[in-house]
Chain A
């Protein structure tokens, strides 16, 4: 009886039609549903973006088990971020950043890699007949700083609910010639800080992607082609942008035309640099893999590990120049053992294509340590 009553109420509500999606800055509390934010929502078989929610992509993204990612940013009317050369932009209170993790659906309930999809395929929303939504993470800039909320999508793909304790979701990834079962890990709220507290002493969360070097990129969206930073200025979300040429720019790790060193460094910067920097939690290792790290011992060349433990893989240097397969860096980024793998969080699979890039990069270095 009770269930019937609930059903009737639900039907009655549904009959009112879908509510318009209106972005909200929620200044405190822990909103239970992703839809409360009004940024992105599942409507009529699509994941749609509210008006004013700007999708973007990065020159080189973090690898997350081949998931596709739809990133958005929104700010309250009249607010804008201030451009900064190397750290995340100085975003105003009220900024809401979302990142939706999804996979294209493949045969027999498995999923396919989505990490190669570009903004022109994702930025207009996602067709839920073709993709499986896994989670949407929300980073919101409140008066007291950034706060992080992970939302996990339901089986029916109709809504995502807050899951502060994280989740472990078994999945099967189908690629040409291979099938991998793996457990997709949704981080818990404390683990968000594992990557986003980029200054480990201050312990404040920071966005990682929205930096000038990652966003400075020509993209296509809805038939138009534009530079993402110019677009942010145009929609009023960014001020103080210097002209192109006076801005750092990370390489696209997939861009065969870009220098090998720039591609590998971009991959290391986005996958490792948030911890492995002079202020990050992995400063304990003396290994700095962020964009600013000079080539040399601090980048791992000929450097003995400090506290790698069994994570050395039996090798003596973080990077053995000329010898990728004798480099701890390659061993750990290629491992799926939680006690050895790097990054420590955020993946259960190996990024084969990223590994191939690192191997080429190290193999091209003059061999030997003097």
Chain B
């Protein structure tokens, strides 16, 4: 049954030392990203499903509710709602992150990675990079649909690119929320329940209606929602109408569209990393 020869057909790769460590941290991250990108390529229907909600929302709000929506004097609702839709899609993206994390955890893939000599940071950084790439794809598809239904960014190319960068920054910040929730969730079902949290988080904001039209307390909540800051900042950069409530937070949307994501990252990135390390407890 057994012999005394040791199995050594594969020499151990030389991957020690600070420089090699850094190289492999990046290389391992890229390996994980390639895996996630392969998933996208092989499951186009999944991408379509994830885009389904914003696309249906675009059509509903522009063609069904749009005619009844009055957000300001001479303001086209389409121009108001479209940047909001972009921001909402970025905000809801954390659920995709959480779901991917919980699926890997449930199927034992995370444990397999953790029992391998790869850079353990790559599991988290790889998720981050591929989610940002995925979000960029989502935005491209949505922007194309928005252009088809008649939305136009009016302030030129560079402000528009800056707007997309801010949208991706919000998505990036929420990746860590998604990773944390995915690690905390027991299973896919409980991760699915996150929508109950995400829905009001996305909606109680300036995405579809100006907070100034809401009851005072709710309006304040909506104004301070990070999604509102990003939505208003990108409206400004796209040259689309911005709700003019006149409050400090609304006047400083551009600033807050940077500050909020950085603050979220500062809080949730360490929490997510800590939670990941504590899987061994």
Report whether chain A binds chain B. Answer: no
Which A residues lie at the B interface, using CB under 8 A?
Answer: none
Which B residues lie at the A interface, using CB under 8 A?
Answer: none
